[in-house]
Amino acid sequence: MISQLNRRALIAWVALVAITAMPFSALAQTQIKYHSNKYSVQDDVKLGRQAAQEAESQFPLLRDETVRSYVEDVGRRLVSAIPSEFQHPEFQYYFKVINARDINAFALPGGPMYVNRGMIEAARTEGEMAGVMAHELSHVALRHGTAQASKGQKYGLLAGIAGIAGTIFGGPGVGQLAQAPFAVYMLKFSREYETEADVLGAQIMARAGYDPRDLANMFRTIEAQGGGGGGFLSDHPSPSDRYARINREAQLLRVNAGVRNDSREFARIQERLRGYQRAPTMAEIQRTGQRSPVGETTGNTPDNPPTGRVSYPSSRYENVSIFNGGVQVSVPNNWRQVNDGNSVWFVPEGAYGQYNGQAVYTHGASFGVAQTNSRNLQSATQDLINGLAQGNNNLRASGGYQRTTMSGRNALFTTLSNVNEATGRPETVRVITTQLRNGQLFYMIAVAPQNERNFENAFQTILQSIRIND
Ligand SMILES: [Zn+2]
């Protein structure tokens, strides 16, 4: 409650300062205008929300409330410094930290922003971090995503988002999607848009009490650290052009209420981040599909294997909607949901963790969709199992295929035996598959140690509860 009060007071204060300073700034600074946009402000909100959901299923968030709320405070300060003509009451700005090493941040239409841990660690000052955030916020405030899509650009935002958030159940267009889960992230804006985001970013910095030159300095910092910068440091315009342009704009701006320079808190946050295990790169995340929560919940040890000591499945079930409502399923209410790459696991406490850098499960059920080349259910299922067996010498078929049903459609059931990677105990893996209307394979994979039969009933109940709406 106290932090809420402080925050409100802070916003009021920043707004007040911004208003009094405006006549001066408005005369001098570069004027920026909206581009034509055939989408509504509500479309921005809706698209951003879908993309955020997708982003959070792809990227591991850093679960550290201290770091997150610090970034949020900086973000709020910047948001309240957005010039009034670029404010949209419909937008909901929020800020989360991704546990990735790349020096980058991205913001989605309508307000969701994701700041990489690597960016916070690389910045030399809070101002440099705020600079990247102000740049990204400017793309959002100027509605660049939907403006670019309005131009009908082939790989524009809407194509990306429709593909992505259409999810696996999105119908046509799903094909491209398989390779495009990162499309939002890799979205490239035109040179003109990048320059606008730099200029408005510098203006927002000044209004929020930061030195706008810190936005320019961040380019130098990124270069000094061997490049990178991802979407933020786009190759057009060149970093040196951007550096010069921002510093030119900075000369036109007056920094409100003196430069904010809270280096102590920033240093404390960086120190805290250094205490964690090295963050993976975006490319590593994409390769392994690994996205266990990292941070306070798992501690900073390299591995945190599952204990395999778990409670019996509760006899009370709760309905859960997964894959953007594409599937409804009931799961024991003492299990929790873990999003792991493209699949969703439901597991009891103690049944999952990290082992040799991989997410490992001892008990639980997972769901996912596989793209296979075969329209025949049995051969598609075999493709899936071959995929599971790759790099796992212990996985063996232990029975043939049996016919069953899932959500009222034909399904196949088969069991495999395995040795759990983390506990070394023999386990039974049940694979149940059916086909979606678009021909993709929907699967449920349930795992428990071989001698723990009390999970069998739970798996049956879960299987019977599945409702697919494709
Ligand atoms: Zn940009």
pLDDT digit string (tens) for 104-142? 888 888 999 999 999 999 999 999 999 999 999 999 999
Distance 253 CA to ligand 1 centre (A): 21
What kind and span of H or E run contains 264?
helix 263-274
Q: How far is the CA of 211 from the centre of ligand 1 (A)?
A: 19
Rounded to the nearest whole angstrom, what is the distance from the C-alpha of residue 232 to the centroid of ligand 1?
A: 5
Selection from 19-33, 67-81, 368-382 with the highest mean pLDDT: 67-81
DSSP assignments along 97-136, one per residue: EE---SS-EEE-TTSEEEEEHHHHHH-SSHHHHHHHHHHH
Cis peptide bond N-terminal to 348, omega within 30 = no
Tell me the two tokens of residue 37. 């946009």
Q: And the tokens for 255?
A: 């920094």
Which residues have CB less than 5 Å away from ligand 1 (the ion)? 194, 197
Least confident among 14-28, 117-131, 138-152, 230-244: 14-28
Partner residues linked to 339 by β-bridges: 344
How far does the centroid of ligand 1 lie from the alpha carbon of residue 63, in Å?
26
Provide the sign of the torsion angle of the four alpha carbons 231, 236, 238, 244, taken in this order.
Answer: negative
Q: Torsion angle of alpha carbons 260, 265, 266, 267, nearest 10°?
A: 130
How many whole angstroms from 21 Cα to the centroid of ligand 1?
Answer: 27
Q: How far is the CA of 178 from the centre of ligand 1 (A)?
A: 25
- pLDDT band at 231; cut points 50, 70, 90: low
Burial 398-407 (b: 16+ CB within 10 A, else e): eeeeeeeebb
Q: Kindly report the pTM of this predicted structure.
A: 0.55
C-alpha of residue 194 to centroid of ligand 1, in Å: 5
- Report, as an integer, the average pLDDT of 372-401: 81
- Name the token pair of 193: 């848009």
pLDDT of residue 123: 95
**What's the pLDDT band for 394 if we cut at 50, 70, 90?**
confident
**Distance of CA 170 from the midpoint of ligand 1 (Å):** 29
Nearest of 197, 199, 201, 208 to residue 261 by alpha carbon: 208
Host H or E run for residue 294: strand 294-295
User: How many angstroms separate the CA atoms of 366 and 445, rounded?
Assistant: 5
Rounded CA gap, 140 and 143, in Å?
5
Asked if 354 contacts 360 with a C-beta cutoff of 8 angstroms, the reply is yes
Distance 132 CA to ligand 1 centre (A): 9
Any idea which of 6-20, 37-51, 79-93 has the lowest mean pLDDT? Answer: 6-20
State yes or no: pLDDT of 308 exceeds 70. yes
Looking at every residue in the chain, the average pLDDT score rounds to: 79
Give 38: exposed, middle or buried? Use CB within 10 Å, 0-12, 13-18, 19+.
exposed
Residue 61 has a pLDDT of 93
> Mean pLDDT lowest for which of 244-248, 297-301, 306-310?
297-301
How much distance in Å is there from the Cα of 139 to the middle of ligand 1? 7
Specify the pLDDT at position 6.
Answer: 35
CA distances from 306 to 233, 298, 348 (A): 39, 11, 11
- In this predicted structure, the answer to whether residue 3 has a pLDDT above a threshold of 70 is no
- What is the CA(19)–ligand 1 centre distance, in A? 27
Residue 168 is predicted with a pLDDT of: 27
443 CA from centroid of ligand 1 (Å)? 39
